[in-house]
Chain A
Amino acid sequence: MAGHSSSMPTRIPFRTLPKASGALLAGIAVALLLGLAAAAMTLLGGEGGAARFAQAFHFNWIFWSGTSMGMVMLTVALHLTNARWSWSLRRFALAGVAFLPVSFVLFAVDWLGAEHLYHHWLHPAPGDHVLEAKSGYLNLPFMIARDYVGLAILYGLAIWFAMLALRPDVYGAAQTDGQRRWYDRITRNFRGVPEEAVRSRELMTRVAVFLAFGYAILWGMLGIDLGMSMLPHWFSTMFPVIFFIDGFHAGMAMTALMVVVFRKRIGVDEFITRNQFHDLGKLIFAFAVFWMYINWSQYVVIWYGGLPHEQEWFVQRFHEPFGTLVRIAVGCIFVAPFLGLLTRPPKKTPAVLATFAVVILVGHWLERFLLTVPSLYESGHVEHLPLGLPEIGIALGFGALWLFCYTWFLSTFPVLPSPATLAAVDTGFMEIPGEGHAAHA
């Protein structure tokens, strides 16, 4: 009952993802081109024009950025809770950090669609006292400023955290020029391996605490701005929580998927046991339940309260054509993983776990769509579901960029932590001066 065996391997190879194969790069390029083509066609008026592009880009940005940030937050959580079981999996989650700079740049594109996304409060109906009352918060300059500052803080901390994690490992290990450039930058003013391992660990803990707070507060704030404000009369104290838990859960699922996909190619298969998949599966399962719990807690309060301005949100989403999607999303994020991952064998079988991870990711992608897009449509007057080629195409484009960043990280930095880093982890026992054998009566 005391816990896992705390013994860690001492012989750890330096392994990275081999240079991306031609097929992978070609796949990424094709997906990116498809994404660009879909974006161009939508913008040129193919399906709803700029408005359609804005909403498709908007929820895709939220999904891919949230998932990447969620992956970093998973590493942060594993670090803060001293989760020794996860030692060989953490870099798979941490690698999500590579997409953050891209996300930061793409955020500018999102604001180009502000006129379409926030027109409810950008041009309020005359005499709308509620919107007047909150115009101090809901105005575009303030919103852009706070969201950019928030993202800069959050992404900056995440990158700092990742650099600290890598610092004691990459010292003197560069093989290629690309690696050397990054390794030199990361290991500037290096003070010796054991010192750096301990220092990194301590500093990471501090950064992790700020990240944990920053994520809850700032990602929640982004949720209010990018999601809730699209229906500006509606408000729910749970919404920001749902928004950041979504990212965390999707990040977990993406991590599991990436571990399963890349572990053999990188050659770290032997360091990832079935027990670790089991633990990862348990986490994914638990957060699927938690996701349902917070969503239900929001729903039951609003349903029972019966106040029109609150129910509007659910009415919009439960009406067709969105209603079916709501059921599918709940099925993907909660029902399927709950039933499928309840027992032990599926969690321990990598292929099955990865399948559920994909289902969950699809669910979260749909959920981001549902959190944002239906707010732009008048309930009961939507003829066609605004989800089709533009959305899927743009998702492909985002996915291509994401995968490019992700594989770059895995091929540049060691996937397993070094023995020096592991040595800085405590084991649960300590040696104290004493006479001879352990003093047992």
Chain B
Amino acid sequence: MATVTRSVFHPEVTGYEEVNITSNRMLTPPGKGYLALLAMSVTLVGMMVIAELHNIWYGLGMSGLTNPVGWGVYITTFVFWVGIGHAGTLISAILYLFRAAWRQSVYRFAEAMTVFAVLTAALFPIIHIGRPWFFYWLLPLPSQRQLWPNFRSPLLWDVFAVTTYLTVSSVFFFIGLIPDIAAARDSATNPTRKKVYTLLAMGWRGTDREWRHFTRAYLFLAALATPLVLSVHSVVSWDFAVSIVPGWHTTIFAPYFVAGAILSGVAMVITLMVPVGRIFRLEKFFTPVHYDRLSKLLLLTSCIVGYAYAMEYFMAYYSGELFERDVFYDRVTGDYWWAGWSMITFNAIIPQLIWMKKIRASQNSLFLISIFVNIGMWWERFVIIVPSLAHSYEPWKFMNYHLTWVEAFILLGSFGWFFMWFLLFLRYLPGLSIAEIKEVLPPPMRHPHAGDHLPQVNHTEELGNATPLPTGYMGLEERR
């Protein structure tokens, strides 16, 4: 029987043209479901604006922050969103360097997710400072005040880490988009769209020379973005770890936070991928291979996070120190036991289901697990921040934290803000990487076996006349 060669990643994609058609179809006017989601997101953003205005007008006392819990939902949510922002760059940059070909169809929207997640995260330090119009005090700007930020404070390291990450990931995102925006430009019929795409495509024509420069730039940006994946959340972890609050002050925090960030980010990728795949009918591009690989990444990071949890508990015991032991014991038995157990169950236990092939193969169960992880990772940051502060050292200063409606609105609004940008992205920019998906498809050829003439890595010199061994070795020739 005649056969055709197809990519294992996209067995149902017939050829290059289908990629362009699908990508362009995503840019056409969407259905009602899309508009409903967008309206919901905008409503949530409205709630956030109201709450924040309230916060500004009446002051930060509108939140539940007080002594000893001076960091609450705002910082929790900040860390949560910075964490989400890690998977995109991991998939787009690190897997690019690793030449993991399955990333091609997923990385574009994962990268978009990264940029918007970091944009969302950036809101929170500004909200948390209470007087947002003074946010520029965080920057080392020369001023007549002769006042410099404290460079020895990890909070300032954060400012640098997050802004660097935002810059590099945005540039990387944009550079990667250029050839695809050019494709969108070429097929755009709406004159306004055409103008905007023309501007954004920066005159891309797809010549050899342009591609050569493009691939170089892309490689270098990927190499630059790779250490940032590790550095950003490491610096965020040091916001906590360099202090001596028991529960914060532990050396494994940097890689533990990075693994947690990737876990939450991959979970968010799956959370977005399942509905996006269905709404935009991308089954041919988000194939079982992609879900399989992503779920394995989720499983791996979940195990690393589980290892870190276990190590923290073990070391709290091993330390023999009263305060260390107390705070970790309190996490699972104290007032916040429910949060502590949610974090352990959702992040380290439930993802273990992915070991089962059946679960990995089912989009619905993966979607469900990813939701659990999203929630669990928010709780993880909450558990690290709040109970540690509420229950450290001397019992006379133990006091719990109470969420207010202002914080709840801002938390919900952050999701609205994130989804709003994400939905707009899907509608206006190519959500599939047209150029890179084509790289994993077999090249279109007039004769199906023309590929056989491609240079092969071969070692065809004669290896003697010896008879081959049962396992196909060339046999035992005389050693030269």
Contact = CB atoms under 8 A, between A and B. Distances in A.
A321 to B, nearest CB: 26
A439 B99 contact: no
Interface string A239-251: 1110000000000
A184 to B, nearest CB: 14
A77 B166 CA distance: 31
Contacts of B30: none
Interface residues of A, number: 79
A338 B340 CA distance: 41
B317 A134 contact: yes
Contacts of B356: none
Contact of B444 (A132, A235, A431, A438): A438
Interface string A1-43: 1111101110111100010000000000000000000000000
B475 A13 contact: yes
A298 B15 contact: no
A131 interface: yes
Given A237-B252, A431-B5, A1 B473 contact: no
B442 interface: yes
B96 interface: yes
A301 B473 contact: no
Interface string B218-260: 1000000001001000100010011110000111111110000
Given A11-B474, A437-B446, 18 more contacts: A1-B218, A5-B456, A129-B320, A132-B320, A134-B320, A173-B470, A237-B253, A240-B311, A241-B255, A294-B255, A300-B242, A301-B253, A304-B242, A305-B243, A305-B249, A432-B4, A438-B5, A440-B444
Interface in A52-96: 81
A435 interface: yes
B457 A5 contact: yes
Contact of A431 (B4, B312, B446): B4
B471 A434 contact: no
B473 A418 contact: yes
A301 B317 contact: no
Nearest to A233: B320
B11 interface: yes
B202 interface: no
A270 B469 contact: no
B242 A305 contact: yes
Interface of B: 1-9, 11, 14-17, 96, 98-101, 104, 154, 215, 218, 227, 230, 234, 238, 241-244, 249-256, 303, 307-308, 311-312, 315, 317-321, 436, 439-440, 442, 444-448, 454, 456-460, 463, 469-477, 479-480
Contacts of A289: 227
Nearest to A295: B251
A426 B459 contact: no
Contact of B442 (A8, A137, A429): A429
A110 interface: no
Contacts of A304: 154, 238, 242
Contacts of A437: 4, 446-448
A271 B461 CA distance: 12
Contacts of B5: 429-431, 438
A173 B469 contact: yes
Contacts of A193: 470-472
A172 interface: yes
A439 B14 contact: yes
Contacts of B100: 3
Contacts, number: 218
A312 to B, nearest CB: 13
A436 interface: yes
A432 B472 contact: no
B98 to A, nearest CB: 8
Interface in A278-298: 289, 293-294, 297-298
Contacts of A1: 96, 99, 215, 218, 436, 439
B238 A300 contact: yes
Contacts of A133: 320
Contacts of B469: 14, 172-173, 418
A216 interface: yes
Interface in A382-436: 414, 418-421, 423, 426, 428-436
Interface in A134-176: 134, 137, 168-173, 175
Nearest to B8: A430
B8 A14 contact: no
Contacts of B477: 13
A2 B463 contact: no
A174 to B, nearest CB: 10
Contacts of A7: 456-458
A294 B304 CA distance: 15
Contact of B241 (A173, A270, A301, A438): A301
A9 B96 contact: no
Contact of B14 (A2, A81, A440): A440
A13 B469 CA distance: 9
A9 B242 contact: no
A43 B253 CA distance: 43
A12 B473 contact: yes
A236 interface: yes
A3 B436 CA distance: 11
B347 to A, nearest CB: 17
Contacts of B480: 267
A372 to B, nearest CB: 18
Nearest to B252: A237
Contacts of A414: 473
A380 B99 CA distance: 51
A297 B254 contact: yes
A302 interface: yes
27 contacts: A2-B436, A2-B440, A11-B458, A11-B474, A14-B475, A130-B319, A130-B321, A169-B473, A220-B311, A237-B250, A267-B479, A297-B234, A298-B251, A301-B250, A304-B242, A418-B471, A429-B7, A430-B7, A430-B11, A431-B5, A431-B6, A432-B4, A433-B3, A435-B4, A437-B447, A438-B15, A440-B15
Q: Which one of B460, B471, B480 has the greatest number of beta carbons of chain A within 10 Å?
A: B471
Contacts of B459: 9, 11-12, 270-271
Contacts of A182: none
Nearest to A237: B252
Nearest to A239: B251
A173 B254 CA distance: 50
A224 B310 CA distance: 14
A377 interface: no
A415 to B, nearest CB: 11
A213 B244 CA distance: 31
A429 B444 CA distance: 14
A307 interface: yes
Contact of A171 (B252, B317, B444, B470): B470
Nearest to A299: B251
Given A3-B101, A429-B8, A434 B3 contact: yes
Contacts of A300: 238, 242
Contacts of A420: 471-472
B121 to A, nearest CB: 21
Contact of A237 (B251, B454, B471): B251
Return the 9 tightest CB-CB contacts between A and B, nearest first. Answer: A419-B472, A434-B4, A237-B252, A304-B242, A297-B254, A133-B320, A238-B251, A2-B439, A418-B471
B6 A430 contact: yes
Contact of B251 (A134, A233, A236): A236
Given A2-B101, A270-B459, A237 B315 contact: yes
A242 B312 CA distance: 15
Q: Which one of A13, A213, A267 has the greatest number of beta carbons of chain B within 10 Å?
A: A13
